[in-house]
Amino acid sequence: MIKIKNLEFERGSFILIAGPCSVESRKQIFDIAKNISNKIDIFRGGAFKPRTSSTSFQGLEKEGIDLLVEVKKQFEIPIISELMSIEDLKYFNDVDIIQIGARNMQNYPLLRAVGKINKPILLKRGMGNTIDELIKASEYISRGGNEQIILCERGIRTFENSTRFTLDLSAIPVIKTLCDYPVFVDPSHAAGRKDLVIPLSKAAKAVGADGLIIEVHNDPANALSDNLQQLDYNLFKELISELEKVIIWKT
Ligand code: PEP
Ligand code: MN
């Protein structure tokens, strides 16, 4: 059971997480929250960003977390953000769910550290990792005493290059045979293209995902990170209405 103030869920739920790739400014994050917070369960926003290039925008760091916490208070919505380094854990006291990103799925000291805290952890599958390695990585967290774990499929690297990664839809029912944790899907990072986010979200829900994590931006074309995959408000509205048509596959 995942427990956050005013929100409890377990496998079999359908939880919607959405928000921008990166927290960029107070104006940006409040505009996005104003437009989407009443349609979602949890608000996302990256403050410590794992960017491929060291010269790309690296996130607002502590200031980004502080802005997210302001959104949490103003809109009364739980928040999730990515932790990259143990030394930043001190900034995450008011963050409801800690995300461990794909690039840190096998950062064992980090996994051990979040295993000792009393807060849900969303653990993303590494882009080059098997399901077995994901499950074993989750055991570094649970062994420390923290059983509040959500696993997240976010696409793996294959020979296919028309999408950023390849969303492994079979991972969802496979993971469900191996553990009891909720299994979420991130179609935004998997596809890397906004036009695929709605169909992949529907497919994920149909195949049994317990939740989705979606990137939404007030002005995607000018986003400081992941500008090609973030939904604008119109596409986000379309996503919500399309998801309502999908029947959840109970596994
Ligand atoms: C993210 O969700 O902001 C992110 C960087 O995702 P991933 O770790 O899946 O690449
Ligand atoms: Mn992103």
Which ligand has the nearest atom to the CA of 187? Answer: 1
The verdict on the CB of residue 154 being under 6 Å from ligand 1 is yes
Cα–Cα distance between 200 and 50 in angstroms, integer? 24
In short, whether 187's Cβ falls inside 6 Å of ligand 1 is no
pLDDT in tens, 184-235: 999 999 999 999 999 999 999 999 999 999 999 999 999 999 999 999 999 9
The pair of structure tokens assigned to 130 is: 């098997």
Cα→Cα distances 160→27, 70, 156, Å: 38, 41, 10
Listing DSSP states for 45-105 in one string gives: -BSS---SSTTS----THHHHHHHHHHHHHHT--EEEE---GGGGGG-TT-SEEEE-GGGT
Read off the pLDDT of residues 134-189 as tens digits, 9 standing for 90 and up.
Answer: 999 999 999 999 999 999 999 999 999 999 999 999 999 999 999 999 999 999 99
pTM: 0.97
Residue 60 contacts residue 67 (beta carbons within 8 Å): yes
- Ligand 1 pocket, residue 21 CB under 6 Å: yes
What is the b/e burial string over 41-64, where b = at least 16 CB atoms within 10 angstroms of the residue's CB? bbbbbbbbbebeeeeeebbbeeeb
Of the listed ligands, the closest to the CA of 213 is 1
Evaluate: CB of 46 within 6 angstroms of ligand 1. Answer: yes
Reported as a pLDDT band with limits 50, 70 and 90, residue 45 is very high
The residue type found at 227 is: N
Convert the pLDDT of each residue in 79-102 to its tens digit. 999 999 999 999 999 999 999 999
78 has pLDDT over 80:
yes
**How do residues 118-127 score in pLDDT, each as one tens digit?**
999 999 999 9
Q: Tell whether the model's pLDDT for residue 251 goes beyond 70.
A: no
Which ligand places an atom closest to the C-alpha of 45?
A: 1
Compute, in angstroms, the gap from residue 17 CA to the centroid of ligand 1: 13
Task: Please give the distance of CA 247 from its chain centroid, rounded to a whole number.
Answer: 22
Pocket test for ligand 1, best of 103, 110, 150, 152 (most atoms within 8 A of CB): 103
Q: What is the pLDDT of residue 118?
A: 96
CA of 229, nearest ligand number: 2
Task: Using the mean position of ligand 2's atoms as its centre, give its distance from the Cα of residue 128 in Å.
Answer: 18
pLDDT of residue 5: 84
**What confidence tens digit (pLDDT) does each residue in 208-217 have?**
999 999 999 9
- Residue partners of 192: CB distance under 8 A and separation at least 6: 163, 164, 165, 226, 228, 229
Residue among 167, 163, 170 nearest 155 (CA): 167
Q: What is the pLDDT of residue 232?
A: 98
Split at pLDDT 50, 70, 90, the class of 47 is very high
The tokens for 133 are 């390695």
**What is the reported pLDDT for 247?**
84
101 within ligand 1 shell (Cβ under 6 A): yes
pLDDT over 70 percentage in the chain? 99
Collect all residues with Cβ–Cβ distance below 8 Å to 42 and sequence separation of at least 6. 4, 7, 15, 16, 17, 77, 78, 79, 80, 96, 97
Asked whether 153 lines ligand 1 (CB < 6 A), one says no
Ligand 1 atom with the smallest distance to the CA of 22 is 3
Least Cα distance to 100 among 90, 85, 87 occurs for 85
Any atom of ligand 1 within 6 Å of the Cβ of 215 = no
Q: Which two tokens stand for residue 137?
A: 């990585």
Atom of ligand 1 nearest to the CA of 103: 8
- Asked if residue 15 has pLDDT above 80, the reply is yes
- Mean pLDDT over the full length of the chain: 97
> Ligand 1: does its nearest atom lie under 6 Å from the Cβ of 226?
no
Q: How buried is residue 5: exposed, middle or buried, by Cβ count under 10 Å (0-12/13-18/19+)?
A: exposed
